[in-house]
Amino acid sequence: MQISDLATEQKLLPLLRQAFRPMFLFGAAFSAIAMLLWGLALAGHIKLNPFANVLFWHSHEMLFGFVCAIVIGFLLTAVQNWTGLRAPHGYSLLIISVLWLSGRLLLLFGEGLPLALVAAVDLSFLPICAYLLARPLLQTGQSRNLFFVPVLLLLTACNALMYLGVAYNRYDLIQLGSNNAVWLVTLLIAIVGGRVLPMFTANGTQTKKVEPIIWLDSAALGSLWLIFVLHFFALTKYLPPLAMSSLFAASALLTAMRCLRWKIWITLKVPLLWSLHLAYWCIPFGLTLFSARFAGFNISNSIALHALTAGAMGGMILSMMARVSLGHSGRALKPHAIMSLAFLLVLAAAISRTLLIWLWPAQTSQWLWLGVGGWVLAYLLYVLVYFPVLTTPRPDGRPG
């Protein structure tokens, strides 16, 4: 590993030694705060005056504030393992952390601020991180992982669409940008989850690794790529509902077939495994809801979308953070017992935001509060349990 010597490493603030440390800590804390503020504003208990409006702020910040922080924390940590070159740390990590935080503050307290200022600060975060990711990958010829760079740039394009919607007072552009980001992150979870879940499951249960079926993986991921492309170029309105319903149903079936092969039932004694599996299962669940919606069932776009955001993203991010924070800080992969409760709280939040609202719409406000409460408690538990892990040096004395 071409990394700094131990003496230099020991001079660094532990929080700035690896990207997962500030990004996971601040991202998780921000998601709990933002969700609580959203719930209080929705119930009329507080008055929020963020940039643009409260609805824009909620959808934008949960995607480009929270989710993107965790994605960057993961990628700029993993790139050191992929390449053997020292990942961003120290001042470079401080700069991108401050840039990310500046975006969150501008959007939360940005009522009346020039759109160009807010957009320039916020939109600069992902391209800078893409550069920091691409540089070691190109230096070492790691072409397999280079696809993450255009993914970050596509996310930037989705973010820019939301700002264009504000600039031209076009809600359709705002929704297009946020929906595109959801589908792109869902695709990212499907790809990365498909890589690591079989390996994690085999290692964690001491069983044989499930080898991929090439045609199944290609078909499942190909269907998700097609869904993303149709949404990205706003082509869904040109296809009949039956065609869209069939596409989502096929994608749900193919993705569920992949999930079944990974045998969630053998992971029930390992929280870091069953939580990942349950989060991945939310992808075919969400796809099924979209299929039913296009088939004429009374399912709103918001309900179907939250199966992917609250369910797949919320669950996968919490579980991966719990795992990566331990592994990359030199600790055993045995989370505090209370994290099992956190994993279940996120699942409860997703169920309340989707199935419960659909089945009992008269109690929507109660289900929304259950969802908000479950999410906030889950991510606060992560912050409380992992604060000492993320802010102290590795116990083995190694860099990182």
DSSP state of 328: T
CA–CA separation, 333 and 316 (whole Å): 16
What pLDDT is attached to residue 10?
Answer: 72
Beta-ladder partners of 218: none
What pLDDT is attached to residue 394?
Answer: 87
pTM: 0.94
pLDDT tens series, the chain, 400 aa? 444 566 667 778 889 999 999 999 999 999 999 999 999 999 899 999 999 999 999 999 999 999 999 999 999 999 999 998 989 999 999 999 999 999 999 999 998 899 999 999 999 999 999 999 999 999 998 888 999 999 999 999 999 999 999 999 999 999 999 999 999 999 999 999 999 999 999 999 999 999 999 999 999 999 999 999 999 999 998 999 999 999 999 999 999 999 999 999 999 999 999 999 999 999 999 999 999 999 999 999 999 999 999 999 999 999 999 999 999 999 999 999 999 999 999 999 999 999 999 999 999 999 999 999 999 999 999 999 999 999 999 888 777 7
What pLDDT is attached to residue 7?
Answer: 64
Cβ atoms 331, 309 nearer than 8 A:
no
What pLDDT is attached to residue 2?
Answer: 43
Cβ atoms 165, 230 nearer than 8 A:
no
Question: Within the chain, where are the H helices?
Answer: 6-10, 20-42, 54-60, 68-83, 90-108, 115-140, 148-167, 171-205, 214-232, 241-261, 271-294, 301-306, 314-327, 338-351, 357-359, 364-391
Cβ atoms 231, 187 nearer than 8 A:
no
CA–CA separation, 341 and 212 (whole Å): 31
Per the listing, tokens 């053997």 go with 84
Nearest by Cα to 13 from 99, 94, 128, 101: 94
CA–CA separation, 372 and 348 (whole Å): 10
Name the residue type at position 342.
A
Determine the 3-state secondary structure of 362 from DSSP.
helix
Beta-ladder partners of 2: 85
What pLDDT is attached to residue 142?
Answer: 85
Cβ atoms 247, 226 nearer than 8 A:
yes
Nearest by Cα to 283 from 244, 315, 261, 322: 315
Cβ atoms 331, 395 nearer than 8 A:
yes
Nearest by Cα to 106 from 41, 165, 61, 157: 61
